[in-house]
């Protein structure tokens, strides 16, 4: 059993994928993919998880938008906790 610890709590704008992003995710059966937009913070990587509204999400991609160190867009897929 894996044990996870909280690293940071941040505010985020959360949205579902749509358009090309939605169809690309559906092609790899990642239909529960969510996009999180947060203020820039260092130290976030794809080995981490996001806890949002009681559900866990594996981070699949991290984009430091325009390398400006202002915002990060994170795409994450919901973890199947049923089995």
List pLDDT tens digits, range 5-58: 999 999 999 998 665 555 555 555 545 889 999 999 999 999 999 999 999 999
Q: What pTM was computed for the model?
A: 0.80
- The pLDDT tens digits for 48-78 are 999 999 999 999 999 999 999 999 999 999 9
Phi-psi region at 37: left, alpha or beta (left = phi > 0; alpha = psi -120 to 50): beta
Closest CA to 74 of 48, 60, 18: 60
CA 51 to chain centre: 9
Q: Where are the domains of the chain?
A: 13-78
């Amino acid at each position: 059993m894996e044990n996870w610890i909280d690293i940071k709590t941040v505010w985020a704008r959360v949205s579902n994928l749509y358009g090309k992003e939605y169809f690309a995710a559906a092609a790899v059966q990642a239909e529960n993919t969510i996009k999180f937009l947060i203020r820039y913070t260092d130290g976030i990587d794809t080995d981490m998880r996001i806890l949002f509204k009681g559900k866990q999400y594996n981070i699949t991609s991290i984009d430091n938008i325009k390398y400006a160190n202002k915002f990060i867009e994170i795409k994450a897929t919901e973890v199947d906790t049923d089995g």
